[in-house]
Amino acid sequence: MSFDGFPDQGLVFYEGLEADNSKTYWAANKADYDAHVRAPMTALVEAVAPEFGDAKVFRPYRDVRFSHDKTPYKTHQGAVVTKAGLGTGSWYVQLSADGLTVSGGCWRLESDQVARYRRAVADDVQGPRLEAEVARLRAAGWEIEGDRLVRVPAGFSADDARIDLLKHRSLYATRHWTPEEWLHTAAALDRVRDGWRELVQLNTWFADNVGATTKEVRRR
């Protein structure tokens, strides 16, 4: 199946799900989800796979076991690519009623990865590399996000160079587009592909300096 855009019916489906996040709504409209959300998302990630690698298209069901919010369904469709051999650093794409989002970087790091990340940020060579890449992405319109400490991390000083980066426990860049006509065409593929290409250097920095965790990964 070729990617021809995300139909407007998919956004309408999510508008309805936001208003009525119930099994009744889901059962009555699942065909719209399959045809206008899941199918085009699958086609999109298949189109970018030769360049970026195979994606995981997330299930639409929420894990409510440890959440106060018991609504059963996600109000967005996401997919993520973590390229084999990189260890860390991923590309992400998401569709919702609000439009299209692309992201890249690290959403969650284990304690050993955080330690390696901070050593690299403090390094006189690798730290400036990340600092320059973050500045470049911000200037290009990307939002830099991630889990951050409020206080200075142990072993560092508030006077340390790149203290803002040192406070991060995860770091990723995000760009969001509200719905426009191009979203319903093959041009949406270009937005995702071009966005992910802009994030290659960020993910390369994480692969070179952080890598995979040596800890047992926590189940979620």
Alpha helices in 81-186 (DSSP H): 111-122, 126-139, 163-166
pTM here? 0.93
What pLDDT was estimated at residue 217? 58
Residue 180, pLDDT > 90, answer yes
Rounded-to-integer distance, Cα 41 and Cα 5, Å: 9
Give residue limits of the domains in the chain: 8-209
Rounded-to-integer distance, Cα 7 and Cα 183, Å: 8
- Calculate mean pLDDT across residues 121-147: 98
Q: Are 105 and 173 in contact (CB under 8 A)?
A: yes
- 8-209 classified as CATH 3.30.930.20: yes
Quote the percentage of the chain above a pLDDT of 90. 88
For the chain, what is the largest distance between any 2 Cα atoms, rounded to a whole number of angstroms? 58
Residue 22, pLDDT > 70, answer yes
Residue 14: exposure state from Cβ atoms within 10 A (0-12, 13-18, ≥19): buried
What pLDDT was estimated at residue 76? 98
Residue 219, pLDDT > 60, answer no
Residue 84, pLDDT > 80, answer no
